[in-house]
Amino acid sequence: MAAGFFISKSVAIVAVVLGLGAAATIIALSVVYAQEKNKVTDLGTTNPGTTSTTATAASVAATTAAAEDVWDKWRLPTTLLPESYEVTLQPFLTPDANNMYIFKGNSSVVFVCVEATDLILIHSKNLNYTLQGSFHASLQAVDGSSVPSITRTWLQPTTQYLVVQLGSPLQQGQRYRLFSIFTGELADDLAGFYRSEYADESGTNRVVATTQMQAADARKAFPCFDEPAMKANFTVTLIHPSDHEAISNMPVRSTQQQQIDGNTWNITEFETTPRMSTYLLAFIVSQFTYVHNTSEDVLIRIWGRPAAITEGQGEYALQVTGPILNFFERHYNTAYPLPKSDQVGLPDFNAGAMENWGLVTYRENSLLFDDAYSSISNKERVVTVIAHELAHQWFGNLVTLRWWNDLWLNEGFASYVEYLGADSAEPSWNIKDLMVLNEVYTVMATDSLTTSHPLSFSEDEINTPAEISEVFDSIAYSKGASVLRMLSDFLTEDVFKEGLQSYLHTFAYGNTVYKDLWVHLEQAVQRNSLQLPGTISDIMDRWTLQMGFPLVTVNTLDGSVSQNHFLLDRSSVVERPSVFNYTWIVPITWMTPQSTGERQWLTNISETIPAFKVSSPNWLLLNLNVSGYFRVNYNQENWEQLLNQLSTNHEAIPVINRAQIIDDAFNLARAQYVDVTLALNTTRFLSHETQYMPWQAALNNLAYFKLMFDRSEVFGVMTKYIQQQVTPLFDHYKTITSNWTTIPSGLMDQYSEINAISTACSYGIAECQDLARDYFQQWQQNISSNPIPPNLRSSIYCSIVAMGGEEAWDFIWDRFKEAPVVSEADKLRTALTCSPVPWILNRYLQYTLDSSKIRRQDATSTINSIASNVVGQPLAWDFIRGNWRKIFTQYGGGSFSFSRLISSVTQRFSTEFELQQLEQFKADNQDIGFGSGTRALEQALERTRTNINWVNENQQKVLAWFQGETSSSSPANQMSS
């Protein structure tokens, strides 16, 4: 699953009792028992031998059993293993008499009894069963022999099981078939089998029935053994209106029409899937259209709303999908395992995308692209998300991790190779360089807190759906990607691929634990006689089984080098023990002005490496291209030589390492290893820098200063300094784009131009603000012709709203409501949070609770954006506190976006009073809790304490530094004059 707008997992709130009255009409759908599979039964009759009574999800047998009954445990027993399912589903795309959208279905699962048992436990959530006799299900032996009688069946809603109690045990080795008939709600909760809605060109509301099974919601669509290791073959049949199209993981096997209750329905049966996990199953009924091509006999289709596809918004995805599939076939040395690859852009979707096998689902903004509206970053998002999901078609889908505790390997791997796949489709972009900013440095901010966690959990730590949901965090995705990138770097990509390929070939269609990959990489190391300081397991366990990362400190006067656990707050106490005592085996690449050296390994807490002894004016630089997941500190003399090099000829230092020097220095200053003025000194050379990465590293770090100081006098002189540094960049891009009329060629250059505009406008450079005003006036005169280049829209829209009061807000709101492309709507929606007017922001916060104004999937990111506005932050905090219960129940405790929400509204907290408020918020809501935001709340408390200390220590020094740099006699002013 792609992160990005980060994964939120809505969990259904209540087991909805479907009000179906006497409901004698609920009947088995077309496919009944396997032997009747080819005779489509009339949907007006019930299954032979069933009484058509409805058992609602609320009809739970009261059990007086002991607390540790097997049905009270979250994990399935291993007594039964599923082999195949036949699932028939009929979604109703208009509401019933109770104004509820429903689906009907039946399902039979063939399982083998591994160990004699008189109990069948199968997952079921919010499904209402048509009783067969007195029971929720019926049982047969596959070979036709007699079976134990069912004595009792009931639903166990807490642990989400349908329980079937038998009169005598099932026989070991025997195959059985469990059959059930059920109804569920086709809710708009973005989980399981759900509905998505959109208005077509004529304004007519259209309903799509679609799915999101990961992690634990296949059980909302049909009863199933809903754990990733319970792989099986699935044959899906969809009964759908004849004017709708049905798609699933596999191609269509057959389709026929049938009249049911006076309406024409199609009965579409799909080919049987290979062995796969339930969470990768998908099916969609819609009136979407598609564009298609084939790549080496694989049919590729890009689906979306007809208007979007007609406008060509699927063309870019179609253009890159074939090359990316071919790249991964070579990378894995394994053919794509399925006959087709469908990719669908959905109007309502909680994650960024989902890697369902052969039917990948996306947020529209992660799949659809329109040159007239979409920026280069929208294009980058599309190609990287497609590459991420296609990487999973092998790693994750063909070979699947046994349980969610190892999720980091699945998501971290895809988050790493998405850059390789995207690079194969867009080779001129140098996109692999962006991993350092997007993954490594982003996740280090979290991983330098004591409330972080290791990549790998033990299996018994992750049990409930909420615990599973919480594992989908930046540690799993971005730290996973960062350490795998480091591993590939020190093994070399060829050795890494060799081990990866034998891993995939060995475990195809099966399940693994993370150590299985280490074994295959170790074999590749041996075959290639690679010299390492330990086994793969010895080296990598230190990076995966303990949280955090090392700070490597080197002294160039004597070549001594040491490591310690890097924490942003050095006084904080690490309570989580580590068997490795927070030491790592660290691969160190390095260079001096004269040469690049051989990789060195730091295997102890400290040692001396003679090559690291360097005398001035030479300098030493460690961790080239930031291939290692660690930070670096130097002795003062070496820092001064590096700063000197940056001020005289910055290009002598590789571009990624120019970003590294800035990012490491600012983080070392936050942790009080170096003085804050050293960090600020690393930004002086930026008045001569035009490259994206160093500028972005500086802006990321100065954003922290903005959060800490934009309510204090520091911000006045800080603004002057940033204006002074960004003006040459602004002028550079104004020149090379002929006054903003052309687009720079490369990806990085376009990003750098965007930084120039957004920094200049947001820090109040008059020429930039005039540009925004001019664009706005032109646009108002001809609404149908937007004069703003797509790359610059986010920044210019924000300036328009910030400067233009209520009139500008209303104008942008109107454009948002009619935006034809989602990426355009996203830019407008975010820009509306730039208003400095409190009542406008408060009204906008209220809109986030009204899904007719702001789509539910966008609510939390809108609140987060309002909170990042200095005027909006206290309003958003009050709003979250005042509405926590409502938000929490509306989205369910498993919604991943809670962690983002909590960290966003608290990111400016830097006073004792704010800390008290946060502690009070925790106390007030202890009874309903924080769901997947639980860990984020602890991290917010820790971060606030760190911020309080940092501001107390540094405010005066920072003020004095900015004052010095912006006075007329400052070195920066003399340099640029």
In whole angstroms, give the CA distance from residue 278 to residue 856.
Answer: 26
- Residue 758's SS3 state is helix
In whole angstroms, give the CA distance from residue 839 to residue 627.
Answer: 47
In whole angstroms, give the CA distance from residue 20 to residue 25.
Answer: 9
155 class by beta-carbon count within 10 Å (0-12 exposed, 13-18 middle, 19+ buried): buried
* Cα four-point dihedral sign 843, 844, 848, 851: positive
For residues 180-219, one letter each, b for 16 or more C-beta atoms within 10 angstroms of the residue's C-beta and e for the rest, the string is bbbbbbbbbbbbbbbbbebeeeeeeebbbbbbbbbbbbbb
DSSP string, 761-815: HHTT-HHHHHHHHHHHHHHHH-TTS--S-GGGHHHHHHHHHHHHHHHHHHHHHHH
Q: Are 805 and 837 in contact (CB under 8 A)?
A: yes
For residues 604-627, one letter each, b for 16 or more C-beta atoms within 10 angstroms of the residue's C-beta and e for the rest, the string is eeeeebeebebeeeebbbbbbbbb
Is residue 389 annotated as part of the catalytic site, yes or no?
yes
Question: Could you tell me which residues come within 8 angstroms of residue 555 by beta carbon, excluding any fewer than 6 positions away?
Answer: 561, 634, 635
Closest to 212 in 3D by CA, of 234, 232, 195: 195
Question: Could you tell me which residues come within 8 angstroms of residue 622 by beta carbon, excluding any fewer than 6 positions away?
Answer: 552, 554, 588, 589, 590, 632
In whole angstroms, give the CA distance from residue 790 to residue 781.
Answer: 19
Q: Tell me, what DSSP letter sits at residue 840?
A: H
In whole angstroms, give the CA distance from residue 773 to residue 951.
Answer: 36
The amino acid sitting at 911 is T
* Cα four-point dihedral sign 784, 788, 792, 797: negative
**Cα 19 versus chain centre, distance:** 36
Q: Are 290 and 355 in contact (CB under 8 A)?
A: no
**Cα 560 versus chain centre, distance:** 40
* Cα four-point dihedral sign 774, 780, 786, 792: positive
How many helical (H) and strand (E) elements, i.e. helices and strands, does the chain have? 28, 31
Q: Are 594 and 515 in contact (CB under 8 A)?
A: no
In whole angstroms, give the CA distance from residue 414 to residue 753.
Answer: 29
Closest to 899 in 3D by CA, of 483, 453, 348: 453
Among candidate residues 364, 389, 439, 467, the one labeled active-site is: 389
Question: Could you tell me which residues come within 8 angstroms of residue 299 by beta carbon, excluding any fewer than 6 positions away?
Answer: 251, 292, 339, 340, 341
Closest to 334 in 3D by CA, of 254, 390, 401: 390
In whole angstroms, give the CA distance from residue 618 to residue 616.
Answer: 4
Question: Could you tell me which residues come within 8 angstroms of residue 134 by beta carbon, excluding any fewer than 6 positions away?
Answer: none
Q: Are 84 and 224 in contact (CB under 8 A)?
A: no
Residue with tokens 């006497």: 22
Q: Which residues are catalytic?
A: 389
